[in-house]
Structure 1
Amino acid sequence: MNRTLYVTDMDGTLLDDTSRVSPESAEIITDLTRRGALITVATARTPATVSPLLAHTVTSLPAIVMTGATLWDRNSMRYIDTRFISPETSRLIRAAADRHGVNPFIYTFDDKGMLTVYHNGERSIHDDKFINERMKLPLKRFHIDEPAGMNQSIPNTVLFFAMGPCERINALADDIRRSIDCSVSNYVDIFGKDVGIIEIFAPEVSKANAVKRLARDINADRVVVFGDNLNDLPMMRIADLSVAVDNALPEVKNAASTVIGPNTSHSVARFIAEDFERMQ
């Protein structure tokens, strides 16, 4: 029997226009998983939001979270195979962010493995909205304008994340790519076209590399991925079959092997169901 690994992005792909997994999608994926389908997600999100979003969706594989910097075992509720940014690289990134007037969120793990997020300095309305929507989530702790957040090389740093004007974010991304050995992703926020987002990880962190490691670990002989945004392109390039939803960016649709319906029509779950049946 063919062992196909199905990996789907969340926002704009698996999630509908209310940023939820629809009941129909949850039911389809749960049923397929119980029949042996190998399905997971690959997302920039952290488990703090992934876990509640997938609360009614059964999957057997760890979720690829934080753009592949770590995996999240939903059953044991622990992080697996985390890639940390070195202290020296952290110092260089913070210096570059200061030069471009960007105040990033710094994601770290505390001694108990809790995801801990620091932010110091000026905040935009987007930053405040981001914090307020996540402040009470049980799997994430925010520390705002605390002295510990001024440490230039906070231990166990996994991610630098920032939002801001596209020109400022893009300039920071270009600067870092030229001078610092790390993984950088910058793109336009799907919820605000004038807002740029940057994510900075340890070298070689990507959804693509995490998908390849997971496929190897479970002995998958075929990989099918689903996406909608530019940060999905690397994993789409390494897949045997790459699928774009109809609402995807033009660059993503052009790069995909096939284009399906929009994220508002349970399209990912329905495609997986059809493909799973065909491969049996």
Structure 2
Amino acid sequence: MPKYRLLAIDIDGTLLDSASQLRPSVRDALRRAVAAGLRIVLCTGRRYRTALPIAEELGLALPIICHSGALVKDTATHATVLARHIEADVLRLLLDFLDEFGLVPMVYTDTFERRVDFFLRRDAPLTHYHTDYLLKNDGSYRFVASLRDGLPGPALQVCTFADLPTLERIRPLLRQRLAGRTTCHLLSSAKYLGNFLEFQTGAASKWAALAELLGAFRVAPHEVVAIGDDENDVSMLRAAGLGIAMGNAAYHVKSAAHIVAPSNDEDGVARVVDKLLGNA
């Protein structure tokens, strides 16, 4: 097996099981990997605030790639290593589009130090999907009069929740209208109700963010193992030296990978790590 030097690992649906728990077998395997000299970078769609506890539990010191590649934060200082913002005119077009279809946007900013991560319009007609999300993220959001000019900084990401048929219907329309100026991922999470669309600038992806770190680490792309389960992982599964899709991944994600591992409920990450370390 080639010599790999860095593991890029998604969190939800990959590192965590379907109950959103970090299994002891996975935790122990990653600690063995670090002890063996492998670098581990968490690459997630999560906010920094909700990804940081996972890194701390695992004892990982490297920066975290958050918001599907739109933000990279240093775990020791919480400083921003990289941020790719949505252009102001694109944000306006995106908000107009979501308003047109009656969808409620949540806009995320790089404001960890202010103890707030995302914003909603004060008069937004919240659905039960949004209410569920807000209840599970109490204290991390603020309501503002306008998302167009009421934010404390530029937007990193926009998300909206709805039922799957609605999101599947509008996604191609949005792609046509914005013509590559955003990335758009249709995702789900075991933690929340419904499905959601997430939008970043077209320049943002997990692999693009990871490629920035590889130069600093002096690690080549062929020395990277990437592990993921959802469509925001596809960029790194295709570009890494070894791209591994979880057994619970959708078909189009599996087709982007070199190999398929057992699912997140079958200790898939632990079994991959053991194989890389020569213990399986």
Number of the residue aligned with 2:173:
175
Aligned residue identity for 1:214: L
Structure 1, residues 103-140: CA drift from partner, whole Å, max 9, x if none? 1101123495655311120111111111111114xxxx
In the TM superposition, residue 167 of structure 1 has moved relative to its aligned partner by: 3.5
In the TM superposition, residue 188 of structure 1 has moved relative to its aligned partner by: 4.3
C-alpha distance in structure 2 between counterparts of 1:147 and 1:239, whole Å: 43
In the TM superposition, residue 234 of structure 1 has moved relative to its aligned partner by: 1.8
Are residues 251 and 71 of structure 1, via their aligned partners in 2, closer, same or farther at CA, if it must alter by over 3 Å?
same
Q: Is residue 102–residue 164 contact of structure 1 (8 Å, CA) maintained in 2?
A: yes
C-alpha distance in structure 2 between counterparts of 1:129 and 1:195, whole Å: 10
Normalised by the length of structure 2, the TM-score is 0.87
Aligned residue identity for 1:56: E
- Bigger shift: 93-102 or 262-271? 262-271
Normalised by the length of structure 1, the TM-score is 0.87
Number of the residue aligned with 1:50:
51
Aligned residue for 2:249, secondary structure, equals coil
C-alpha distance in structure 2 between counterparts of 1:190 and 1:111, whole Å: 22
Are residues 148 and 190 of structure 1, via their aligned partners in 2, closer, same or farther at CA, if it must alter by over 3 Å?
closer
- Bigger shift: 177-186 or 58-67? 177-186
Are residues 175 and 16 of structure 1, via their aligned partners in 2, closer, same or farther at CA, if it must alter by over 3 Å?
same
In the alignment, structure 2 segments of 5+ residues that lack a partner are none
In the alignment, structure 1 segments of 5+ residues that lack a partner are none
C-alpha distance in structure 2 between counterparts of 1:111 and 1:54, whole Å: 16
Q: Is residue 188–residue 195 contact of structure 1 (8 Å, CA) maintained in 2?
A: no
Aligned residue identity for 2:209: A
In the TM superposition, residue 154 of structure 1 has moved relative to its aligned partner by: 6.4
C-alpha distance in structure 2 between counterparts of 1:35 and 1:268, whole Å: 16
Number of the residue aligned with 1:86:
87
In the TM superposition, residue 216 of structure 1 has moved relative to its aligned partner by: 2.4
C-alpha distance in structure 2 between counterparts of 1:114 and 1:188, whole Å: 25
Are residues 224 and 167 of structure 1, via their aligned partners in 2, closer, same or farther at CA, if it must alter by over 3 Å?
same
Aligned residue for 1:27, secondary structure, equals helix
Aligned residue for 1:64, secondary structure, equals strand
Aligned residue identity for 2:194: V
C-alpha distance in structure 1 between counterparts of 2:254 and 2:112, whole Å: 42
Are residues 79 and 232 of structure 1, via their aligned partners in 2, closer, same or farther at CA, if it must alter by over 3 Å?
same
Give runs of aligned pairs for residues 142-221 of structure 1, distance below 5 A. Answer: 142-144=141-143, 146-149=144-147, 151=149, 155-180=153-178, 181-191=180-190, 195-221=194-220
In the TM superposition, residue 190 of structure 1 has moved relative to its aligned partner by: 4.5
Aligned residue for 1:7, secondary structure, equals strand
Structure 1, residues 131-169: CA drift from partner, whole Å, max 9, x if none? 111114xxxx3113x325463776311111111123432
Structure 1, residues 163-221: CA drift from partner, whole Å, max 9, x if none? 11234323443233223252222324254999331111122111121122222221112
- Bigger shift: 164-173 or 107-116? 107-116
Number of the residue aligned with 1:130:
133
- Bigger shift: 23-32 or 37-46? 23-32
C-alpha distance in structure 2 between counterparts of 1:68 and 1:101, whole Å: 27
Q: Is residue 169–residue 186 contact of structure 1 (8 Å, CA) maintained in 2?
A: no
Aligned residue identity for 1:178: Q
Alignment length, in residue pairs? 273
C-alpha distance in structure 2 between counterparts of 1:271 and 1:182, whole Å: 35
Q: What is the root-mean-square deviation of aligned Cα atoms in Å?
A: 2.6
Number of the residue aligned with 2:110:
109
Give runs of aligned pairs for residues 13-32 of structure 1, distance below 5 A. Answer: 13-32=14-33
Q: Is residue 25–residue 267 contact of structure 2 (8 Å, CA) maintained in 1?
A: yes
In the TM superposition, residue 7 of structure 1 has moved relative to its aligned partner by: 0.6
Q: Is residue 43–residue 64 contact of structure 2 (8 Å, CA) maintained in 1?
A: yes
Number of the residue aligned with 1:274:
275
- Bigger shift: 268-277 or 238-247? 268-277
Aligned residue identity for 1:205: A
